Structure 1
């Protein structure tokens, strides 16, 4: 019972965290990042400013929360993958699962105007700093999960190299997608990871 209660509390905390993040992004896209205050975000989310600060130290951290959550989910899904599945397949499946569109939105293109505004938001120096921090945190968590799955230590070279390759592949696919959001991000991810799996053969 205690475990169930703890799991429920953790789930609710994550839901609240994401709700605050979504509110921050929505207001920042509507008004501009500098024109949104913590008070505005709290009011839009029907919580107190204190509640916001219990979850985030800044607006920029709130903007990046979905990216941070995605990193947590990749690690969780990796740990849930079948033990007889190859490491690479398990990793690719764990990553791609975070970008599969919901059934009711499959095939629905994102508006160019929204994508353009989001790209501009991600160029904010404070947001870029938080993206970098989230990337490092996610990679560290992935190293631990890979070490567990392969019977190695997190301080060993192998899990560190594999985690770095996965992180770089994911970042490359996302950067490519933001330049042309009409593409399927899931397809891009598969293409990137297929090239890595093949040993990056000469394109000629």
Structure 2
């Protein structure tokens, strides 16, 4: 029974990957606006009904959205060592997702495609906001912070911003990996982006 369940899960992962690969390939060839769900399903050798068992629409397939990433991230939140700082936990979460995305060899091409399509950018933002809400709730629970904690929301939001900045910079600096840029961004967050920040100490000439 356990072997059968493991085989079923493996087949589901393979089908999801096949659909995501087909969606990306077709979107790169034809442009994301000109790809249909029917074409993606046919390229992956599955039915349209099967497509909708894995993705709510073609944009999520092109983005390669995988709910396992969020599930693992939430589990990492719950099982993080007590002495591990919240930002360190988010770093591990981000690195885990990047490792998966890099393993398919299409991280850069997918990132470039997304940035060229306003619709894909919008879909990525909407799905990212939902992920961040769940991660914020999980991190607040772990830290013992109340709902609406600015610190918790900022940690999660800053981690997401670090990824987006790294992806954008990687386009113009392909010699630096996304992972390297993410690491630099997290170190800057940990050190304080602007230690001299102090709006109460502004030059008083003409300012109020």
TM over 0.5: yes
Residues in 2 aligned to 1:186 and 1:34: alpha-carbon distance in whole angstroms: 29
Question: TM-score w.r.t. structure 2 length?
Answer: 0.75
161 and 118 in structure 1: CA distance in 2 versus 1, 3 angstrom threshold: closer
Does the aligned pair in 2 maintain the 1:68–1:135 contact within 8 Å? no
Structure-2 separation of matches of 1:70 and 1:195: 25
Partner SS state of residue 97, structure 2: coil
Runs of at least 5 residues in structure 1 that lack an aligned partner in the other structure: none
Match of 1:134 in 2: 127
What's the C-alpha RMSD, in Å, of the aligned pairs?
Answer: 3.5
Map 1:1-204 → 2, pairs under 5 A: 13=12, 15-66=14-65, 70-100=69-99, 115=108, 119-201=112-194
Q: Identify the structure with bigger relative contact order (alpha carbons < 8 Å, sequence gap 6+).
A: 1
Runs (5+) with no aligned partner, structure 2: 197-208
Deviations 1:104-140 (A, max 9, x none): 99xxxx79xx956852454223212211111101111
Q: In 2 relative to 1, CA 179–200 (structure 1 residues): closer, same or farther, beyond 3 Å?
A: same
How far has the Cα of 1:193 moved from its partner?
0.8
**Larger Rg belongs to:** 2
Residues in 2 aligned to 1:33 and 1:178: alpha-carbon distance in whole angstroms: 19
State how many pairs are aligned.
195
* 1:162 Cα deviation from its structure 2 partner: 1.8
Provide the TM-score with structure 1 as the length reference.
0.76
